[in-house]
Amino acid sequence: MIQFAKHRVAKRERGVTMTIEEILAGESKNVEFKETLPEKSIKYMKSVVAFANGTGGKIIFGITDKTREVVGFDKEDVFKKMDAIANAVSDSCEPAIIPDITLQTVDGKTVIVVEVSEGRQRPYYIKALGRDGGVYVRVAGTTRLADEYMIKELLFEGSNRYYDQALCTGLNVTDEDIYALCKAMKKQAVKNARTEDQKAAIKDVGRQQLRSWGILIERDGKDYPSNAFAILTGNGGLHVATQCGVFKGTTKAVFVDRREYTGPLWEQIDEAFQFVLRNIHLGATIVGIYRQDVYEIPPDAIRELIINAMVHRSYLDHGTIQVAVYDNRLEITSPGKLPMGQTMERMKEGYSKIRNEALAHAFAYMNLIEHWGSGIPRIIDKVKAAGLREPEFIGGEVDLRINIYRGQVDGTVDLNNAIKVPDTIGKMPDSGNKVPDKTEIVPDNMKKMPDSGNEVPDTTEKIPDSEREQQIYKYVLENGSITTAETVEILDVKHRRARAVLLNMVKDGYLRKEGAARSTIYVKNTEGI
């Protein structure tokens, strides 16, 4: 029987009781087990900080992480250990973190439950390591050192600011640039209007409106561009692009076509949308006496999914939106973790947590989005109404991937009577991106997320033999690069050993070293292995 024990450190009866089923399920994104209380508090303080920087979580002391055996603590010194945990958290973390520390009896053994809530004063970090080296986050059930992009993301969240409304340094705009943007936005608003009444209601957009949305920033009577201005127009040195690819089979092993679209966001939306339509199947149905063409995936759902990725992605992350068509699914991946306060479940229910407020206002004006938050439920409804399985949502910690499965009938692809749309519809010329004449091995310019936490990505490329090097290689494929400090964390080895592993992978041709001294990073070697 599981019950609470009274003590003097924390509140009781807060609903933190773990069931046997939860324990047997093992560690997860929000649960971590510790067999004993480590002598050095930093061994668990990293997880405390990571939970506060994420969606919260629990550390259960007295349970082995590998076997999930409940070992518990002697009742004689359990309160002393609880005091030690409370003091360590108070002394080690900045800003202050106040965990809820309780006792729980599981099968007659006493365990300590440390529950950390989602923090609002981000980023949280370990004082002794400083903000540059002491910020930790949870990724796929593990605690990892936050990179520069993630720290910036947490800073904006903690200060309740929006990156797209921040001043875009290095970009100067003229009156002509501002007028051109206003004119282009109205043109899009008219183009996307669904009814004549909606079209007639569209008003001109001007400087004042752009200021109120945060697209322009007024200082001393002069207008300066925000990041939203640069993102919308495709200017300002911010690399904002959409990668599209068609792959043979169900993995990224072999591609048949790939494109990269840049420029104004509304152009990227249209180009990515047309790309998908050209590469999915078109069937026909009879309505009365007329033949009506029907795509295997509802076009409205496709377009809305691309728009959703554009307005909700993290632009602090230098990655790109990826639109991939496989034999069995359409996959759209947007960079960045879910914003603070957002979860997969809440998103599916229509809860909206705006990451880019200026862009959201601009998209609403251009009739690209109707009501904030309603997009995802509408996509789900349209896909299910078409007889397809419900879209699949994956990730949310580093990026968000949404899959719509094609023509699924009892788990198989049904393409009977389907006709491939000719590759001429709305085709845009691509500079430097020639369509390949034959299939070839996919270059590693589209991030591949592993299908499970313990797998090396499913590609045809050579991978390291040793387990340690496979861990490092997988991390690089997921995140684009790795540092020596991150290697220390992942492998739990000393700095010298971590550097030796990395240099060996460089020697064997798996990695390439970039930078020098403290700015050194290791990236995937694309010159061939």
pLDDT digits (tens, 9 = 90+) for 114-173: 999 999 999 999 999 999 999 999 987 889 999 988 999 999 999 999 999 999 998 999
Q: How confident is the model at residue 6 (pLDDT cuts 50, 70, 90)?
A: very low
**For position 17, what pLDDT does the model report?**
58
One-letter amino acid identity for 41?
S
Q: Note if the bond before 38 is cis, omega within 30 degrees.
A: no
Residue 445 has pLDDT above 50, yes or no: no
d(CA 367, CA 304): 11
- Quickly count: other Cβ atoms within 10 Å of residue 44's Cβ: 21
d(CA 210, CA 191): 20
26, 232, 265, 276 from 268: Cα distances, Å: 42, 10, 5, 12
**For position 361, what pLDDT does the model report?**
95
**For position 343, what pLDDT does the model report?**
86
171, 350, 370 from 343: Cα distances, Å: 35, 11, 21
pLDDT digits (tens, 9 = 90+) for 184-201: 999 999 999 999 999 999
pLDDT digits (tens, 9 = 90+) for 221-252: 999 999 999 999 998 778 899 999 999 999 99
Q: How is the chain split among helix, strand and coil, in percent rounded to 5?
A: 35, 25, 45
pLDDT digits (tens, 9 = 90+) for 456-484: 344 345 677 787 888 888 888 877 888 88
**For position 342, what pLDDT does the model report?**
87
Query: Largest Cα–Cα distance in the chain?
Result: 84
Fold of the domain built from segment(s) 3-158: 3.30.950
**For position 283, what pLDDT does the model report?**
82
Higher pLDDT, 98 or 5: 98
The separation between CA 130 and the C-alpha centre of its own chain, rounded to angstroms, equals: 25
Q: What percent of the chain has pLDDT over 70?
A: 83
In three-state secondary structure terms, 99 is coil
Q: How confident is the model at residue 211 (pLDDT cuts 50, 70, 90)?
A: very high
**For position 21, what pLDDT does the model report?**
65
d(CA 202, CA 40): 63
Q: If you average pLDDT over each of 100-114, 318-332, 471-485, which comes out highest? A: 318-332
The domain defined by 467-524 carries CATH number 1.10.10.10: yes
Residue intervals of the chain classified under CATH 3.30.565.60 are: 242-441
CA dihedral 515, 516, 519, 520 (to 10 degrees): 70
d(CA 481, CA 149): 12
**For position 356, what pLDDT does the model report?**
95
d(CA 360, CA 231): 12
Residue intervals of the chain classified under CATH 1.10.10.10 are: 467-524
- The hierarchical CATH code for the domain 242-441 is 3.30.565.60
**For position 514, what pLDDT does the model report?**
81
**For position 433, what pLDDT does the model report?**
41
d(CA 329, CA 405): 4
Q: How confident is the model at residue 421 (pLDDT cuts 50, 70, 90)?
A: very low
CA-based nearest residue to 228, from 358, 98, 328, 124 = 358
One-letter amino acid identity for 450?
P
Residue intervals of the chain classified under CATH 3.30.950.30 are: 3-158
Q: How confident is the model at residue 420 (pLDDT cuts 50, 70, 90)?
A: very low
Contacts 24+ apart (CB under 8 A), 262-266: 262/234, 263/234, 264/184, 264/232, 264/233, 264/234, 265/231, 265/232, 265/234, 265/240, 265/310, 265/359, 266/184, 266/188, 266/366, 266/368
For residues 502-517, give the mean pLDDT.
Answer: 84
pTM of the model: 0.70
Residue 2 has pLDDT above 60, yes or no: no
Structure-token match 């400087």, residue found: 207
**For position 460, what pLDDT does the model report?**
42
**For position 366, what pLDDT does the model report?**
97
Q: What is the mean pLDDT of the chain?
A: 84
Residue 324's φ and ψ, nearest 5 degrees, are -120, 130
Q: What is the DSSP letter of 293?
A: E
**For position 20, what pLDDT does the model report?**
61
List residues bridging with 222 in a β-sheet.
219
**Contact at 8 Å (CB) between 291 and 334?**
no
Higher pLDDT, 74 or 106: 74
For residues 386-403, give the mean pLDDT.
Answer: 93
